[in-house]
Structure 1
Amino acid sequence: MTTQANVDTRISEPDAAQISEFLRDHPDFFDTHQDLLAELRLPHSSGKAVSLIERQVQVLREQNETLKSRLLELVNVARENDRLSGRMHQMTLDLLAASSLVGMLDALEDHLRNEFKADVIALHLPGLSETQLHESGAENLVVNETLKELLPTPLCEGKPQCGRLKQQQLDFLFKDQAAAIESTAVIPIGHHGQGGLLAIGSREVNRFNPCMGTLFLSHLGELLSRMLQKHTAG
């Protein structure tokens, strides 16, 4: 039989959420109840009980290590971005210095292979003459519905695509070199690839992956669009 005293006790007992909220609202609670700090014991992962203060120190150390790790990661990313920016700047200068389409594309290939560690490079460009295609080593590009279905990300969404591609996609982009490619970056040149496609292939599976940033690749596509207009106008 439940007594009124038992009911009152159940009602008055705070739950974990209420205790947690109380301690947040009264951060100085243990200043006036320091005897509790010596009495409280918390389970440790090793199985040994530790005091609240020891546990707080442990938590702070773990948080500190996590913050240090994140900071180091941010510093490394910043350094890599700085190096990437420098390489991009030099490549832009060399592309601008080229006096012909072939010279510009030679400079592009040189930078992609030597500075950006590309294994295979394929250019698909629309509207070039047979002579220009032969001299530049580019493939003629005709964008139709079939091709949009094959490469929807660069041609329909207008975004670079990174990662492992289907065999049919690799065969179109890299022709007889497709078998060697493990990961790829496909860059639309101009709006939705109207100016062409640049495909950069790697023999490394994780060299290009769907999680990597594509800002640099988008900038490269915009740069090539302007440069191609300059060298193919007229």
Structure 2
Amino acid sequence: MTDPFIPPITEDDIANYLANTPDFFDRHAGVLAAVQLSSPHGQRAVSLQERQAELLRDKIKGLELKAAEMIRHGQDNSTIADRLQRWTRELLRTREARDLPEVAAREIATQFLVPQVAIKVWDVAPAFMTLACAQGASEDVKAFSSSLSRPYCGANPGLEAAGWLDDPKAVASLALIPLRTAEGQAAFGLLVLGSPDAQRFAADMGTDFLERMGELTSAALSRLRP
């Protein structure tokens, strides 16, 4: 007769007992061999050893997928690094400072497959004030650029800077990268990247690489400054 004052043994009690009594199956080896578990791949029962083998195979498969993903990311990073090096090399090869904005924009489009690129700069030295890239930036754009602590990425809501691109109506997502001589300084220019793909420059994307691109572009175009 069951004592009503003694709580019944639960599955957790059994699990805790087995977990804390590792020599149980040493004393009852026959029980271990007779254990049958349900298979995740059907209704049949399998032995404990077979179930453990299935779990191990699933774990190995998961590790293989993670390894493949790591390899893919590594290859992507290597590709980006190569493109960045080629772009930087073209900037270093440019002797005339007045050619730098065109070279920077052209090589970004070529190396990083960005469909549309535009650059505007202001407060340049008198010798460069007649450059096309030094024309057309309003005071509002200048103030907006200086207010950016990191690149803006997102949809194209018809911002003034989008109008600098060759075909702004075809642009679904934008990246606006401020150009400044040092962190915390007012911007002296803006790098605009545009794509017809709404997810190319999504609002939730990481901006570390775009920030590095902005730093390199700023360093190159600082030669236009007084």
Q: Indicate whether the TM-score tops 0.5.
A: yes
Q: 1:172 — aligned with what?
A: 161
**1:1-234 equivalences in 2 (<5 Å):** 5-10=3-8, 13-16=9-12, 18-27=13-22, 29-45=24-40, 46-128=42-124, 132=128, 135-137=131-133, 140-142=136-138, 144=140, 148=144, 155-156=146-147, 158-162=149-153, 164-169=154-159, 171-175=160-164, 177-190=167-180, 191=183, 194-229=187-222, 231-234=223-226
Separation in 1 of the partners of 2:139 and 2:67?
45
* More contact order relative to length (CA 8 Å, sep ≥ 6): 2
Q: Percent of counterpart pairs with the same letter?
A: 25
With structure 2 as the length reference, what TM-score do the two structures score?
0.80
The one-letter amino acid paired with 1:204 is D
Q: Any idea what SS the aligned residue of 2:220 has?
A: helix
Is the contact between residue 121 and residue 198 of structure 1 (CA under 8 Å) also seen in structure 2?
yes
* Alpha-carbon distance change, 47 to 14 in structure 1, aligned in 2, over 3 angstroms: same
Separation in 1 of the partners of 2:213 and 2:177?
8
The one-letter amino acid paired with 1:66 is G
Q: Which has the higher helix share?
A: 1
Q: Any idea what SS the aligned residue of 2:194 has?
A: strand
Q: How many residues align?
A: 221
User: After TM superposition, what 4+ stretches of structure 1 lie above 6 angstroms from structure 2?
Assistant: none
With structure 1 as the length reference, what TM-score do the two structures score?
0.77
Separation in 2 of the partners of 1:86 and 1:182?
27
Separation in 1 of the partners of 2:14 and 2:135?
70
Q: Any idea what SS the aligned residue of 2:131 has?
A: helix
* Gapped regions of structure 2 (runs ≥ 5): none
Q: Deviations over 1:59-91 (max 9, x none)?
A: 111111111111111111111111211211221
* Alpha-carbon distance change, 111 to 24 in structure 1, aligned in 2, over 3 angstroms: farther
* Gapped regions of structure 1 (runs ≥ 5): 149-153
Is the contact between residue 121 and residue 200 of structure 1 (CA under 8 Å) also seen in structure 2?
yes
Separation in 1 of the partners of 2:70 and 2:157?
36
Is the contact between residue 152 and residue 176 of structure 2 (CA under 8 Å) also seen in structure 1?
yes
